[in-house]
Amino acid sequence: MIRHAFVLFTVSVSAFAGTFYVAPTGHDSDPGSSTKPWKTLQHAVDMISLGDTILVETGTYAGCRIGLSGSQTLPKKLQAAPGASVLVNKVGPQNKHNSIVEIENFGGTVTDWVVSGLEVANSPNYGIDVRVTDRITIDSNHVHNSSQTGIFTAFSNHILIQNNESNNNGEHGIYQSNTSTYPTIRANKSHHNRDAGIHMNGDATEKPGNGLVLYPLVEDNIIYENGLGGGSAINCDGVDHGMFRNNLLYHNHASGISLYAIDGAHGSSYNTIYNNTIVMAPNSRFVINIPHDDHAAPVGNVIENNILYTPDSNHGSILIAGAHPSGFQSDHNVVVNRFSDNNGDSTISLAKWQALGYDLHSIIATPAQLFVDPATFNFQLSSGSPAVDAGAPLPNDVPADILNVTRPQGQGWDIGAYEFVQVLLL
């Protein structure tokens, strides 16, 4: 009997992943190569296959609507070419919401795209508009002067919004809306927006869904000069089991972080607020705002190792709805001598607040005592700052600071977003 030998050759699909180009001088009838690029973003996003990358050369473009998915192992990418300056400032020809870049297909869930390196400007609605998606990454874009929000998402799970700048928008800088799970909002700059720097809203009226944003991670963001139209630096309406750490929030005009419910299914609950530096603008509201509302009250929220400073004499560091919200904890913070345990109707001193069992290890200090140079917005801790080594150890939750400096550097955890590093002179 003659035996036949069979050799099985396996070739990864990723080996065939291609790179395609878009340039103002291109033609959509061309192959999309570096020498014969395509002309429009819409044609490019419609043409590429799993694992492919679109590199956009310097120029000004109309936007697009992305409706064809990548895969978890082979995401599709739309990004500026290395060194390119890419301005996208017109609504795409297939867009449905009058936004500049839209990700949605109206028949199912769009998955696995990376959009990066674009300047998205002057949208008549949202700048980048992401709806009904899974595993979308919005990375290193500059989105500004939108009529509404800069970066908007709806019903989007496992979204990663990182390293973007979103500013001078008519509504929020970043808006995570509707029922969603595991959003990550990391290392963005959100500033000079009319309303919130980051707004998260579960919105129980929008179906299908449970009206909650679940398990968000919001870290390492720098958020400033927002809220003249209302809206906290970080606004949480129906947000549960979130981690808010190492954020620098300064000179915002409403509140710093708000946990509540207006549209969400219930008051934002079981959130941890760790190692944030929050310095409010004059005439602003409470730094941390956890009010009562018409829904189930917020429960189980924990505030630890934060700098919670306001210069406003009518407001204070923390507002809660009543003296003993279920599961509420707060300690090892730098605070001012004003709090509220009755929904902001009046304030009490730190001593009376401590009599309720809160902030027993917290301290009062001013920006001049705490920071290198608050006048120039340098909120790193100064040598001798009372926040150094004054925090609670949180090795599993906050292992590094906003600059990725390992905690602790001294004898203990520092309070705030920055860990003090002693410079040794030789």
Q: What pLDDT is stored for residue 424 in this prediction? A: 59
When comparing pLDDT for 1 and 388, which is higher?
A: 388
Taking the C-alpha atoms of residue 341 and residue 338, their distance in angstroms, rounded to an integer, is 10
Q: What pLDDT is stored for residue 425 in this prediction? A: 54
Q: What pLDDT is stored for residue 423 in this prediction? A: 72
Which pLDDT band holds residue 384 (cuts at 50, 70, 90)?
Answer: very high
Q: What pLDDT is stored for residue 296 in this prediction? A: 72
What angle is formed at CA 359 by the lines to CA 355 and CA 364, rounded to 5 degrees? 105
- 174 in any annotated domain: yes
- In the chain, the percentage of residues whose pLDDT exceeds 70 is 95
Q: What is the mean pLDDT of residues 403-412?
A: 96
Q: What pLDDT is stored for residue 11 in this prediction? A: 39
Give per-residue pLDDT as tens, 193-214. 999 999 999 999 998 899 999 9
Q: What is the mean pLDDT of residues 102-122?
A: 97
Which pLDDT band holds residue 7 (cuts at 50, 70, 90)?
Answer: very low
Distance of CA 173 to the CA centre of its chain: 9
Q: Judge whether residue 379 has pLDDT over 70.
A: yes
Report strand pairing: 76-80 vs 64-66. Answer: unpaired
Nearest to 180 by CA among 195, 201, 196, 152: 201
- 395 in any annotated domain: no
Give per-residue pLDDT as tens, 248-271. 999 999 999 999 999 999 999 999
Give per-residue pLDDT as tens, 287-333. 999 998 766 789 999 999 999 999 999 999 999 998 899 999 999 99
- 142 in any annotated domain: yes
CB 397 within 8 A of CB 274: yes
**Residue 98 in tokens:** 């009058």
Give per-residue pLDDT as tens, 42-61. 999 999 999 999 999 999 99
Nearest to 251 by CA among 289, 277, 275: 277
Which pLDDT band holds residue 377 (cuts at 50, 70, 90)?
Answer: very high
Supply the CATH number for residue 159's domain. Answer: 2.160.20
Give per-residue pLDDT as tens, 128-143. 999 999 999 999 999 9
- In the chain, the percentage of residues whose pLDDT exceeds 90 is 92
Q: What pLDDT is stored for residue 215 in this prediction? A: 98
HEC letters along 73-121: CCCEEEEECCCCCEEEEECCCCCCCCCCEEECCCCCCEEEEEEECCEEE
When comparing pLDDT for 12 and 231, which is higher?
A: 231
Q: What pLDDT is stored for residue 322 in this prediction? A: 87
- 421 in any annotated domain: no
Q: Judge whether residue 14 has pLDDT over 60.
A: no
Phi, psi of 376 (to 5 degrees): -105, 20
- 413 in any annotated domain: no
- 403 in any annotated domain: no
**Residue 241 in tokens:** 């089991």
Q: Looking up tokens 């956009």, which residue turns up? A: 56
Q: How many domains does the chain have?
A: 1
- 30 in any annotated domain: no
* Cβ partners under 8 Å of residue 161, min gap 6: 138, 139, 151, 153, 174, 176, 183, 184, 185, 186, 188
For residues 362, 364, 368, 374, the Cα torsion angle rounded to the nearest 10 degrees is 60
Residue 273: domain span: 58-381
Q: Judge whether residue 15 has pLDDT over 80.
A: no
